[in-house]
């Protein structure tokens, strides 16, 4: 286990160090400054804008920016919905995969359009190569870029002084896609191919096992989808087992590259904020505050999984390598726990171990990551959630010391707090109401043998499975406690609606908030100003995150993972 602990620590430190470089690069990209990659990437950006007829000099206010974002996402949804619905007759389908049904198509496309990538199907048998490339991989690029674009616009608003324009959505979308995600995806894709991840247009192959049985082995255009699924905090797997599958994640080197990919852009966004608002100390305060939540979660989860399952230990089974149920031997308990926490605090959702098999309190950590939904967060949108908590912390601190709340010289007034509250309260509302409805439907109508009998594990763990599904949907995460039978009309439609609402409400409300703050004059700081780049404010922000973020979910935590943990003793 000692080697695993070293690997966990090195992965975190390396990601933090490289995020500093990427954060400065992203700052240059979105402020129009020259970068070393411009000779290769800038012509791509210019070509895309020319073909789509976008004027790069045209600016948009927050309403125009929001409309552009919504309209583009609606068209992407319609186009990709059509692809998976008729994929059987489209090219690049060597295995003859059938069309998706209506409710599953709705859920799948809603999932990938919202950067959630919750999957109620197994990728290698549910989608053709054409759908994987032109629906799924395409959406994984542009929906991640959508989140980054929205975050950049909000940062401009926070930094502005009597500013009425937040940029141009289509320009920001193109820059994020062509100049941030594309080069990183190429780099990670090459590493994965080097490590053995397939990249082929050939169909599945037949193999004869040592027992003499014939086995069908799926393959395909795996490496490029896996690279962008991690970098874009998408998380949707080419194969059903996701990154536990040896074709998606063959070796410890590929595991390191994918773990790095999950967190690198969310971490870099914090440094980009510091450069764009001219407050690098503010970025340090926010980054350290995030680490002060993330690192204890990682430490606790690793300890839980490395300590083994007490129920199995009571049977006399050796637990010296940790709780290995649902985990890959090539990664071990420590790196599996690191991935489980990292993938859920960043809204990624990919897995290199089955979260349903985590120890009860180890499984609580991914839930907490999604409940908070702001510790680094998904690319763009997760960091937007942190900025909402920053505004709330500014308001709380201002009220405590008897001063008008201000952030970066802008007064935070009733309008801004209403918008922040809307974005903040929707998250627990979607999770708790959705879980309550699921519990009621299951308890009143789930006869054995029917589609509504979706729980294989009744009791506390079954409750956790339903809670996790709505938590993952509302957090735009996509991972799951996969003991749940979720490919049913109820789960397809309910989680699909939650994913759509939980994507766009937390984007549009903060854009409106940023537009309101941008138009205000920035007041010079005085000795009486509340400094957001101080250690005191960092502690206040940490307290607001922990108190508000966790108290809303404490009752369901007790009913699920905590009750299950106590039952093992």
pTM of the model as a whole: 0.92
Task: Tell me how far apart the alpha carbons of residues 458 and 464 are, in angstroms, rounded to a whole number.
Answer: 10
Per-residue HEC secondary structure of 214-242 comes to EEEECCCEHHHHHHHHHHCCCCCCCCCCH
Residues 301-358 have pLDDT tens digits of 999 998 877 777 777 777 778 888 888 888 888 899 999 999 999 989 899 999 888 8
Task: Please choose, from the candidates 260, 265, 39, the residue with its C-alpha nearest in 3D space to the C-alpha of residue 149.
Answer: 265
Burial class (CB in 10 A: 0-12, 13-18, 19+), 431: buried
**Residues 6 or more apart in contact with residue 334 via CB below 8 angstroms:** 1, 4, 5, 7, 8, 302, 305, 306, 322
Bridge partners of residue 216, in order along the sequence: 206
Per DSSP bridges, beta strands 406-407 and 205-208 are unpaired
Distance CA 301, CA 319 (A): 16
On average, the pLDDT of the chain sits at 89
Query: What is the rounded radius of gyration, in angstroms, for the C-alpha atoms of the chain?
Result: 23
Q: How far apart are the first and last CA of the chain?
A: 24
Lowest mean pLDDT among 151-155, 208-212, 252-256: 208-212
Token digits of residue 510: 């903060």
Same domain for 488 and 386? yes
Distance from the Cα of residue 515 to its chain's centroid: 25
Same domain, 54 and 166: yes
Placement of tokens 């409750």 in the chain: 463
pLDDT in tens, 490-534: 999 999 999 999 999 989 999 998 888 888 887 777 666 677 888
How many domains is the chain built from? 3
Q: What is the pLDDT of residues 146-174, one digit of tens each?
A: 999 999 999 998 888 888 899 999 999 99
Shared domain for 48 and 23, answered yes or no, is: no
Q: Are residues 92 and 17 in the same domain?
A: no
* Pair 516, 395 in one domain: yes
DSSP string across 107-152: HHHHHHHTT----SS-HHHH--HHHIIIIIIHHHHHHHHHHHHHHH
Of 8, 348, 318, nearest to 147 by C-alpha is 348
Q: Is 193 within the bounds of a domain?
A: yes
* Residue 109 sits in the same domain as residue 202: yes
Give the span between the Cα atoms of 246 and 196, in whole angstroms.
9
- In this structure, are 161 and 22 located in the same domain? no
Does the residue 331 lie in any domain?
A: no
Instruction: Pick the last residue of a domain from 227, 251, 275.
Output: 251
Q: Kindly state the percentage of the chain with pLDDT values over 70.
A: 97
569 compared with 550, residue with greater pLDDT: 550
Condensed to tens digits (0 to 9), the pLDDT of residues 260-294 reads: 999 999 999 999 999 998 889 999 999 999 999 99
Residue 191's pLDDT is what?
96
How far, in Å, CA of 561 to CA of 538, rounded?
Answer: 30
How confident is the model at residue 452, as a pLDDT?
Answer: 56
pLDDT, residue 380, reads: 59
Give the Cα-Cα-Cα angle 62, 471, 338 (nearest 5 degrees): 100
Report whether pLDDT(208) > 90. Answer: no
Token pair in block for residue 247:
């074709």
- Whether 301 and 341 have beta carbons less than 8 Å apart is answered as yes
CA dist., res. 224 & res. 386, Å (int): 30
Q: Are residues 453 and 503 in the same domain?
A: yes
Residues forming a β-bridge with 217: 205
Question: Mean pLDDT across the stretch 440-444?
Answer: 83
Rounded (10°) CA dihedral 227, 187, 366, 469: -20
Range 100-120 average pLDDT = 93
Look at residue 264 and tell me if it is in a domain. no
Look at residues 429, 553, 557 and name the one whose alpha carbon lies nearest to residue 502: 429
Single out the residue of 304, 513, 231 nearest to residue 390, CA to CA: 513
**Predicted local confidence at residue 307, as pLDDT:** 84
Same domain, 21 and 138: no
Residues 8 and 101 in one domain: no
Domain that holds residue 226: 41-251
In our burial notation (b when 16+ CB lie closer than 10 A, e otherwise), range 541-556 reads bbebbeebbeebbeeb
Residues 558-568 have a mean pLDDT of 89
**280 within some domain:** no
Residue 77: how many other CB atoms lie within 10 Å: 18
Task: Let me know if residue 413 belongs to a domain.
Answer: yes
8 A C-beta contact, residue 250 and residue 328: no
pLDDT score at 569? 65
pLDDT at 568: 75
Residue pLDDT, tens place only, 119-142 = 998 888 899 999 999 999 999 999
- Tell me: do 24 and 138 sit in the same domain: no
Return phi, psi of residue 378, to 5°: -70, 170
Q: Which residues contact 320 (CB under 8 A, 6 or more apart)?
A: 308
E strands in 178-318: 205-208, 214-217
Give the span between the Cα atoms of 529 and 532, in whole angstroms: 9
If you average pLDDT over residues 68-80, what whole number do you get?
96
Distance separating alpha carbons of residues 117 and 96, to the nearest angstrom:
23
Residues 28 and 152 in one domain: no
Residue 217 has a pLDDT of 85
Domain stops at, among 203, 222, 251: 251
Token reading at 277: 């608002």
Burial 217-226 (b: 16+ CB within 10 A, else e): ebbbbbbbbb
The Cα 26–Cα 19 span in angstroms is 10
């Amino acid at each position: 286990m000692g080697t695993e602990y070293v690997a966990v620590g090195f992965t975190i430190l390396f990601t933090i160090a490289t995020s500093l470089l990427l954060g400065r690069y992203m700052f240059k990209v979105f402020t129009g400054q020259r970068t070393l990659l411009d000779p290769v990437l800038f012509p791509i950006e210019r070509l895309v804008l020319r073909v789509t007829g976008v004027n790069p000099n045209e600016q948009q206010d927050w309403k125009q920016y929001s409309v552009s974002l919504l309209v583009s996402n609606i068209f992407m949804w319609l186009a990709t919905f059509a692809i998976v619905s008729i994929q059987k007759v489209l090219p690049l389908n060597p295995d003859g995969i059938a069309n998706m049904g209506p409710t599953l198509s709705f859920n799948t496309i809603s999932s990938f359009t919202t950067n959630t990538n919750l999957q109620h199907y197994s990728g290698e048998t549910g989608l053709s190569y054409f759908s994987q490339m032109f629906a799924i991989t395409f959406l994984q690029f542009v929906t991640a870029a959508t989140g980054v674009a929205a975050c950049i616009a909000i940062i401009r608003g926070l930094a502005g002084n009597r500013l009425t324009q937040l940029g141009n959505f289509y320009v920001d979308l193109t820059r994020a896609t062509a100049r941030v995600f594309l080069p990183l995806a190429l780099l990670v894709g090459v590493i994965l191919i080097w490590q053995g991840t397939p990249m082929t247009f050939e169909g599945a192959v037949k193999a004869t096992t040592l027992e003499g049985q014939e086995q069908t082995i799926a393959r395909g255009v795996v490496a490029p989808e896996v690279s962008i699924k991690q970098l874009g905090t998408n998380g949707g797997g080419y194969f059903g087992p996701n990154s536990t599958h040896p074709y998606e994640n063959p070796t410890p080197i590929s595991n390191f590259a994918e773990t790095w990919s999950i967190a690198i852009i969310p971490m870099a966004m914090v440094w980009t904020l510091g450069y764009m608002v001219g407050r690098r100390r503010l970025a340090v305060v926010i980054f350290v505050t995030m680490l002060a939540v993330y690192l204890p979660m990682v430490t606790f989860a690793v300890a839980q999984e490395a300590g083994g399952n007490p129920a199995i230990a009571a049977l006399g089974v050796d637990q010296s390598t940790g709780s290995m149920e649902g985990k890959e031997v090539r990664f071990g308990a420590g790196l599996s726990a690191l991935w489980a926490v990292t993938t859920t605090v960043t809204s990624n959702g990919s897995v290199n171990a089955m979260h349903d098999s985590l120890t009860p309190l180890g499984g609580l950590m991914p839930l907490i990551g999604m409940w908070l939904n702001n510790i680094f967060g998904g690319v763009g949108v997760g960091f937007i959630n942190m900025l909402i908590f920053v505004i709330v912390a500014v308001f709380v601190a201002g009220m405590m010391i008897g001063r008008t709340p201000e952030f970066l010289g802008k007064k935070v007034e009733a309008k801004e707090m209403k918008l922040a509250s809307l974005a903040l309260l929707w998250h627990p509302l979607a999770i708790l109401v959705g879980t309550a409805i699921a519990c009621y439907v299951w308890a009143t109508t789930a006869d054995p043998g029917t589609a509504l009998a979706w729980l294989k594990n009744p009791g506390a763990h079954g409750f956790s499975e339903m809670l996790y599904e709505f938590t993952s949907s509302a957090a735009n995460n996509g991972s799951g406690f996969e003991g749940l039978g979720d490919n049913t009309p109820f789960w397809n439609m309910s989680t699909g609606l939650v994913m759509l609402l939980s994507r766009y409400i937390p984007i549009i409300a903060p854009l409106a908030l940023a537009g309101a703050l941008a138009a205000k004059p920035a007041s010079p700081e005085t000795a009486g100003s509340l400094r957001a780049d101080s250690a005191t404010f960092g502690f206040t922000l940490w307290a607001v995150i922990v108190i508000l973020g966790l108290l809303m979910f404490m009752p369901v935590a007790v009913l699920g993972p905590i009750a299950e943990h106590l039952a093992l003793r």
